[in-house]
Structure 1
């Protein structure tokens, strides 16, 4: 769980709202009461950020969009400990701070190798093989000289030391799957009843500018509705 204390920097002295991410209750009314929480703007000043993902503290003292932060935390909520090390390690080694970069990093950080324990070369080699190939069968892994692969990595590649381990990015490319407006499709849990693709009807049906909505969702209340 991640917690962020959000306030309106344009209203000094106004109360702050503490939001837990992933969002599990409708907090938008509280945000709207102090003039923040816009669906498209980064209008929430993150006075503090805490919780289980230390790298997100770099969002402190910046303006964030509540829906972007919720999407990012939902992505990270599905990561295991190794994937979190990959995400946080690469974010540090490449200097990613922007929300768009961080969201896109969740889709490709698994191709980097992050070493936290150098005591078992075979384990390092097997993990590195999986990172660069995206997976392997048990039979394929048995055929790999994992110790030799680990030594090749450690002796011939430049790793970057981070608080989350030594990072070898393996030439990872940061693809722009998230363009700052349209969230890539991501099914967070098994409670979805309906999935809808939202696009501008003036665009072609095969446009990449698509936002996916999974229902039921917490809807923002609109006056008069």
Structure 2
């Protein structure tokens, strides 16, 4: 669900559709000669959509807060917008802080739109208030009874969107008005938890560099080095890169880490092969990892081969490569182990924890090594 707005600043007006990434928001503000400090008050001339946010019209807002709220709303499921809309109305919420907190408290407001199926009524109620229900039909009678009891409780409030049931529990303040609660809006490869003076924000990578600065500002920190930071790989596909990426973050900072992760996502680089190439060369710097990414198509990885199993390397090449041909009659007399050692020498191959990696480009491995900053790579790749 997008939030369509007209924002005014110093008699200048811009149309902005939220949610929006930080770089795009910055460009719109610059193009309209507005302040790029998104924490400064901006006047809401109008909210064209959705109606639930119309109470913000005529007020000043923090654009980052509005953007965070829009991200929360875009992730609403099914009737959650109607729940949110009713919650805004019943609590007389007029600030974005209150609205953000309502998005985390929708379990307090159950909206029943169809009372013809008692089992569904009961399931919907438990799903909203407790977060999960078993899919087993053996529980249908139980949920039908819950539905009947709910409708007979007298707690239902008629609204233009359905029958509303409000739980007698306080609203939780998840957002304190300073730092944004952890919320993964987009699928991310990694996150970095940044803690400062007892407060924490989480940034998800890849993202704009502006997002990192904004997180620090909300925390009240001047430099990332002043904070306690923990990086975690979120996507298991990239778990093999956890150690080298963490080393980049620790040694070179979040911006260098972010650039590598951007490339991983945009160029669809096979993380297992890259991890093997990093182990193969022993590189650690962002520059050298970038070189490996540039040349990753010239490297091949044979997975699931034990350390020192040259016999299997030899068999792999005989079975898969067009460069080598061996008749079945000669297989019993062929030394696959010796052939595997030949391949390792000929193609600069080496066993790594992910299998066996080798050069498969047009020229030879020295073309890649010459681009690396590290001076001792040839020593680390014994025999080359």
Please state which band the TM-score falls in when normalised by the shorter chain.
0.7 to 0.9
Q: Tell me the matched-pair count.
A: 209
Classify the secondary structure of the residue corresponding to 1:91.
helix
Residues 36-185 of structure 1 mapped to structure 2, 5 A cutoff? 36=35, 38-41=37-40, 43-51=41-49, 53-139=50-136, 142=139, 144-185=141-182
Contact 1:50–1:56 (Cα < 8 Å) also in 2: no
1:113-163 CA deviation, whole Å, 9 max, x = no partner?
A: 111223333321221122232212123871543333223222224233334
d(CA) in 2 for partners of 1:159 and 1:96? 22
Classify the secondary structure of the residue corresponding to 2:76.
coil
Alignment-derived partner of residue 204 in structure 2: 214
- Alignment CA distance shift 1:37-1:6 (3 Å): farther
Where does structure 2 lack aligned partners over 5 or more consecutive residues? 214-384
Give the drift of 1:98.
Answer: 1.7
Deviates more, 1:142-151 or 1:85-94: 142-151
1:17-51 CA deviation, whole Å, 9 max, x = no partner?
A: 1111110452224436554453434x111111123
d(CA) in 2 for partners of 1:160 and 1:36? 45
Where does structure 1 lack aligned partners over 5 or more consecutive residues? none
Alignment-derived partner of residue 6 in structure 2: 5
- Alignment CA distance shift 1:158-1:36 (3 Å): farther
Give the drift of 1:212.
Answer: 1.8
d(CA) in 1 for partners of 2:3 and 2:129? 30
The normalised TM-score by structure 1 is 0.80
d(CA) in 1 for partners of 2:139 and 2:78? 24
Deviates more, 1:82-91 or 1:144-153: 144-153
Classify the secondary structure of the residue corresponding to 2:176.
coil
Classify the secondary structure of the residue corresponding to 2:52.
helix
Alignment-derived partner of residue 196 in structure 1: 192
- Alignment CA distance shift 1:155-1:189 (3 Å): same
- Rg larger for: 2
Deviates more, 1:21-30 or 1:175-184: 21-30
Contact 1:196–1:213 (Cα < 8 Å) also in 2: yes
Give the drift of 1:164.
Answer: 3.1
d(CA) in 2 for partners of 1:141 and 1:180? 45
Classify the secondary structure of the residue corresponding to 2:44.
strand
- Alignment CA distance shift 1:165-1:172 (3 Å): farther
- Alignment CA distance shift 1:37-1:91 (3 Å): farther
Choose between structure 1 and 2 for higher RCO, CA contacts under 8 A separated by at least 6 residues. 1
- Alignment CA distance shift 1:163-1:50 (3 Å): farther
More helix as a share of residues: 2
- Alignment CA distance shift 1:85-1:144 (3 Å): farther
Give the drift of 1:111.
Answer: 4.2
Contact 1:89–1:166 (Cα < 8 Å) also in 2: no
* Structure 1 residue ranges, 4+ long, deviating more than 6 angstroms after superposition: none
